[in-house]
Amino acid sequence: RKEVEQDPGPFNVPEGATVAFNCTYSNSASQSFFWYRQDCRKEPKLLMSVYSSGNEDGRFTAQLNRASQYISLLIRDSKLSDSATYLCVVSNAGNNRKLIWGLGTSLAVNP
Amino acid sequence: DVKVTQSSRYLVKRTGEKVFLECVQDMDHENMFWYRQDPGLGLRLIYFSYDVKMKEKGDIPEGYSVSREKKERFSLILESASTNQTSMYLCASSSWTGARGGYTFGSGTRLTVV
């Protein structure tokens, strides 16, 4: 079983739609959680950290469920510019030294 | 704006050549990482370093070595390039205290070995 698992998609949604991605992780001792965004042929960029209480950044909401060991990302009012691959990332060390990466979920927002 | 800079965007090398990929960060980060990314395999960690002159093997270190003589610079060396090392190579850095901050990546080096 992979340490971090994501549905690869692709998710095809119209502009303005709400879309949600889930990610599961296998190590119950995992401590830090992130969502990264990667555009085609570009480097990954940190989208947001995921806090235990859940957190929101504009149209993006991240949730963590430690009991079920999953993380979610909700995107509201999708824009064409949201088209990208979204990577779920988990850290098992307390010092952010090494991250475990999911393979990503591909999102295409269509006009 | 904080930056991780990789020396080359595209490289083409011949089989058997020794290849150097350079990475420099200006954020005074302790941790630096080298990944390769291939379709269907995602990001795979080659080596990382948490201090000057320190290095640790990642998940796929075979055929690679690294050097960190200065805090800001982390070099990846392909001792004898092979075609299966054709890939996108990504350098990243992070700080000890940045548990919320994740990594900052360079823009990547697309290496082709012919």
- Residue B109 has what pLDDT? 97
- Residue A95 has what pLDDT? 52
A2-29 average pLDDT score: 94
Indicate the pLDDT class of residue A109, thresholds 50, 70 and 90. Answer: very high
In chain A, the percentage of residues whose pLDDT exceeds 90 is 77
- Residue B46 has what pLDDT? 97
Nearest CA in chain A to B87: A41
Give the ranges where B16-104 is alpha helix by DSSP (H).
Answer: none
Nearest CA in chain A to B32: A97
Low-confidence ranges of chain B (pLDDT < 50): none
- Residue B38 has what pLDDT? 95
- The pLDDT tens digits of the residues spanning B21-53 come to 999 999 899 899 999 999 989 999 999 999 999
CB contact under 8 A, A96 and B94: yes
Q: Is the pLDDT of residue A93 over 70?
A: no
The one-letter amino acid code at B4 reads V
Contact A67, A74 (CB under 8 A): no
- Which of A34, A95, A97 shows the shortest C-beta gap to B102? A34
- Residue partners of B85: CB distance under 8 A and separation at least 6: B36, B63, B78, B111, B113
Chain A interface disruption, residue of B74, B100, B104, B112, most A CBs within 10 A: B100
- Residue B102 has what pLDDT? 79
| Positive/negative CA dihedral, A14, A20, A26, A27 | positive
- The pLDDT tens digits of the residues spanning A30-78 come to 888 999 999 998 999 999 999 888 899 999 999 999 999 999 999 999 9
Distances (CA, A) of B22 to B25, B59, B72: 10, 20, 11
- List of chain A residues whose C-beta atoms are within 8 Å of the C-beta of residue B95: 96
Distances (CA, A) of B24 to A80, A97, B48: 33, 18, 14
- Residue A31 has what pLDDT? 83
- Which of B31, B99, B105 shows the shortest C-beta gap to A44? B105
Secondary structure letter of residue B23 according to DSSP:
E
